[in-house]
């Protein structure tokens, strides 16, 4: 039975992905910063993990044992004018979205390389598929993971380990920016109000959106696809962006 470890599994796409794999008979290790009871079906292992803390990563990997698939889903968002974004918050985004992903990958590579098998799935965003306003810092953190993953895929292929990217579209039900600690009012100063208003109106009524189940299904395809395909857009809006032009 294959074992999958998923980061950021306390809500949203990570939680749905854990449920998706469990329903298909996988051994699921769901990790989150503050484990809570009752979120997941019986039989799913829940471990504490802060991807920005090296000691927490080491403890979680040791407790998990052999992992066949790593899904780097943990992430935080930031919406607003780049001018208004404190550098401390931008660094926080990169610590989780970029360096947290890299640290988790580095932690599992030795066991996968030794077994000459395994899959690493890094979850990014459709902001990497087309430039989007009011998301500059977040986009940068995810674009870095895209470049990292493309290069890493070549390195790991030599050892039978596959690297994949899942690129979710806009999912209104996810808690995209709730962990960053800044309000929309702080992030949209008065000079940007007229620019931001139609953008937020479009987000309120998007023609296409992504469901959490779309992301879970894309992660499953990526984890079980033995080909060298790197990118898996998730959700109709992401697929439309990926296939445009």
Residue 138 known to be catalytic: yes
Helix (H) or strand (E) holding 99: none
Catalytic residue among 138, 170, 192, 232: 138
| Strand 3-6 relative to strand 118-123, pairing | unpaired
Q: Is 163 helix (H, G, I), strand (E, B) or coil?
A: strand
Give the alpha-carbon dihedral of 110, 113, 117, 122, to 10 degrees: 60
- Nearest CA to 4 out of 216, 168, 227, 214 is that of 216
Q: Answer whether 212's CB lies under 8 Å from 73's CB.
A: no
Any idea which residues carry the catalytic annotation?
Answer: 138
């Amino acid at each position: 039975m294959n074992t999958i470890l998923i980061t950021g599994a306390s809500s949203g796409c990570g939680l749905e992905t854990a449920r998706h794999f469990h329903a298909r008979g996988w051994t699921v290790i769901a990790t989150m910063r503050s484990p809570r009871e009752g979120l997941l079906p019986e039989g799913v292992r829940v471990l504490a993990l802060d991807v920005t803390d090296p000691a927490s990563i080491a403890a979680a990997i040791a407790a998990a044992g052999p992992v066949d698939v790593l899904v780097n889903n943990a992430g935080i968002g930031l919406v607003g004018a780049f001018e208004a974004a404190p550098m401390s918050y931008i660094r926080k985004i990169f610590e989780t979205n970029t360096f947290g992903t890299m640290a988790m990958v580095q932690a599992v590579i030795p066991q996968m390389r030794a077994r000459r098998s395994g899959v690493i799935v890094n979850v990014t965003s459709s902001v990497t598929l087309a430039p989007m306003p009011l998301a500059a810092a977040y986009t940068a953190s995810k674009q870095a993971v895209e470049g990292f993953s493309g290069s890493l895929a070549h390195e790991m292929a030599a050892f039978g380990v596959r690297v994949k990217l899942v690129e979710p579209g806009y999912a209104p039900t996810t808690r995209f920016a709730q962990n960053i600690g800044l309000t929309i009012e702080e992030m949209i100063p008065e000079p940007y109000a007229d620019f931001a208003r139609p953008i937020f109106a479009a987000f309120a009524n998007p023609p296409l959106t992504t469901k959490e189940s779309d992301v879970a299904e894309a992660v499953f395809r990526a984890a079980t696809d033995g080909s060298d395909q790197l990118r898996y857009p998730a959700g109709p809006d992401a697929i439309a962006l990926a296939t445009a032009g």
